[in-house]
């Protein structure tokens, strides 16, 4: 049996440590840093020099005119100026009308979409927990949307919600051109994609409840409601909390569907918080502000997650 000495153990840990430092800690730290600074970082050209192009033999390559062909060597200098701006970016976010609207849009989306996904997922799981004809096939079909790329789903539903000539035209609903309906459209797409996930996890949880426990409860209590209230729901509570947590964490990051379906419009009616932060950072190069926005979101999500985990611990306790 090999007995690893302490230093060797640490050597094996190094790749993981490097990975965490490079791809988690550093980006977090750097984005926190720039959220407190005005960043003026640019490279300037300090000189350009023409040098002859050489062939494999090291001789200058000549043009038709006999002059040597040249290439340009660019001399550059990094100019970095980080100016401490304190909480200016964070304060700016609190006064930004767009941020306020994005928070509202995100909150409506998260509350509506996640609630409906969990309710529908639970109902579907209950349905599939019993025997129905073609259950295996239907179950497979049911979970297909999970595997679709959100960007592709966005484009798919762009054609579905197309108001003139689209398959839902007969309904006469202004799916993408009226602000409220546009948000409903985004919610529908998310429900379509993520209800199957809730369904799948709930179904697994239902099927893991021991049959003898259910039978005992059935004998002790005559009502189906009591069976659900006393046995099924409590047994599933940890799973429900985990699903809720996962969906909340995912839903507050709503981006892909907006990017492909509505671009945040009409106006800013469907502009989610993440989409706004993205456009500020990557479309308008306002990285300090975008970082501050991202941290504000992180704080809110951490508070919510902490509350949920506390509840989870209490449940297990």
For 95, residues 6+ apart whose C-beta sits below 8 A from its C-beta are none
Q: Site residues (CB under 8 A) for other proteins?
A: 41-45, 53, 61, 63-65, 69, 71-74, 76, 78, 97-98, 162-164, 174, 176-179, 182, 262-269, 271, 279, 282-286
Residue 100: CB minimum distance to other proteins, A: 13
Query: Helix (H) and strand (E) counts for the chain?
Result: 13, 2
Distance CA 278, CA 106 (A): 14
- Whose Cβ is closer to other proteins: residue 152's or residue 303's? 152
Is the distance from CB of 205 to CB of 124 less than 8 angstroms? no
- Whose Cβ is closer to other proteins: residue 35's or residue 195's? 35
Distance CA 200, CA 124 (A): 9
- Whose Cβ is closer to other proteins: residue 109's or residue 194's? 109
- Whose Cβ is closer to other proteins: residue 97's or residue 211's? 97
Helix (H, G, I), strand (E, B) or coil at 75: strand
Residue 106: CB minimum distance to other proteins, A: 17
- Whose Cβ is closer to other proteins: residue 75's or residue 310's? 75
Residue 284: CB minimum distance to other proteins, A: 5
Residue 125: CB minimum distance to other proteins, A: 35
Residue 108: CB minimum distance to other proteins, A: 15
For 127, residues 6+ apart whose C-beta sits below 8 A from its C-beta are none
The number of angstroms, rounded, from the C-alpha of 168 to the middle of its chain's C-alpha atoms is: 28
For 253, residues 6+ apart whose C-beta sits below 8 A from its C-beta are 274
């Amino acid at each position: 049996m090999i007995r690893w000495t302490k230093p060797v153990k640490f050597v094996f840990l190094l790749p993981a440590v490097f990975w965490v430092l490079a791809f988690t800690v550093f980006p977090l730290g750097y984005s926190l840093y720039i959220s407190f600074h005005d960043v003026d970082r640019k490279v300037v050209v300090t000189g350009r020099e023409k040098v002859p192009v050489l062939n494999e033999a090291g001789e200058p390559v000549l043009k038709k005119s006999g002059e040597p062909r040249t290439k340009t060597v660019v001399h550059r200098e990094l100019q970095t100026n980080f100016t401490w701006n304190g909480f200016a970016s964070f304060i700016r976010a609190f006064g930004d009308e767009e941020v306020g609207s994005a928070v509202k849009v995100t909150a409506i989306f998260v509350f509506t979409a996640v609630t409906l996904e969990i309710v529908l997922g639970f109902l579907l799981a209950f349905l599939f927990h019993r025997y129905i004809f073609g259950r295996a096939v239907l179950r497979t079909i049911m979970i297909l949307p999970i595997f679709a790329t959100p960007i592709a789903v966005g484009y798919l539903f762009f054609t579905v919600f197309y108001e003139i000539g689209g398959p839902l035209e007969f309904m006469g609903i202004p799916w993408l051109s009226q602000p409220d309906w546009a948000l409903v459209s985004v919610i529908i797409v998310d429900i379509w994609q993520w209800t199957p996930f809730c369904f799948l996890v709930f179904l697994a949880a239902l099927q893991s409840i021991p049959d003898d426990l259910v039978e005992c409860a059935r004998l002790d209590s005559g009502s189906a409601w009591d069976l659900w209230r006393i046995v099924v729901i409590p047994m599933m509570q940890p799973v429900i909390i985990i699903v809720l947590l996962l969906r909340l964490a995912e839903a507050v990051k709503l981006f892909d569907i907006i990017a492909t379906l509505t671009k945040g419009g009409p106006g800013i009616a469907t502009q989610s918080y993440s989409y706004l932060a993205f456009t500020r950072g990557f479309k308008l190069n306002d990285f300090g502000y975008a970082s501050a926005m991202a941290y504000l979101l992180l704080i809110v999500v951490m508070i919510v997650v902490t509350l949920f985990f506390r509840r989870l611990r209490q449940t297990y306790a």
